[in-house]
């Protein structure tokens, strides 16, 4: 089946630094990828839609200058959390619909646990 990977799986950083999270589709091309954030015991919240070759579309309330998204190729999207603060600590998950199948079927990465100290 379609596989989506994320790197790193977990990261600890100091407040004020930036962290980059990668999302890769391993066996299919993804013109669109989605980034979600999940706080403990809460639902996944869509942050932004990443489009290959164009600017990302951010959901209401998500700061585009803080969460930089770059979809550089058909298999890679990156999320950079700039000037991270403890409240940015969360579980970040990406997803992608396999282009060769039903677009609505999505495959999620394993997630990246970010802890900001």
Partner 1 sequence: SQKIEQNSEALNIQEGKTATLTCNYTNYSPAYLQWYRQDPGRGPVFLLLIRENEKEKRKERLKVTFDTTLKQSLFHITASQPADSATYLCALGDQGGKLIFGQGTELSVKP
Write out the residues near partner 1 by the rule CB under 8 A. Answer: 4, 6, 32, 34, 36, 42-46, 49, 91, 93, 95, 97, 102-111, 113
> What minimum distance in Å lies between the beta carbon of 111 and partner 1?
5
Q: How far is CA 12 from the centre of its chain?
A: 17
Asked whether 46 and 62 are in contact (CB, 8 A), the reply is: no
**Nearer to partner 1 by C-beta: 67 or 107?**
107
Contact partners, residue 60, CB within 8 Å, separation at least 6: none
> What minimum distance in Å lies between the beta carbon of 42 and partner 1?
6
Tokens of 4: 């989506």
**Nearer to partner 1 by C-beta: 15 or 42?**
42
């Amino acid at each position: 089946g379609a596989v989506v990977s994320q790197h790193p799986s977990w990261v600890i950083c100091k407040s004020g630094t930036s962290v980059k999270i990668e999302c890769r589709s391993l066996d299919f091309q993804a013109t669109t990828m989605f980034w979600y954030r999940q706080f403990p015991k809460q639902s996944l919240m869509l942050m932004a839609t990443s489009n290959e070759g164009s600017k990302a579309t951010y959901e209401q309330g998500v700061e585009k200058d803080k969460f930089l998204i770059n979809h550089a190729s058909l298999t890679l999207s990156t999320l950079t959390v700039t000037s991270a603060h403890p409240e940015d600590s969360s579980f970040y998950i990406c997803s992608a619909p396999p282009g060769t199948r039903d677009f609505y079927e999505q495959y999620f990465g394993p997630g990246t646990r970010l802890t900001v100290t």
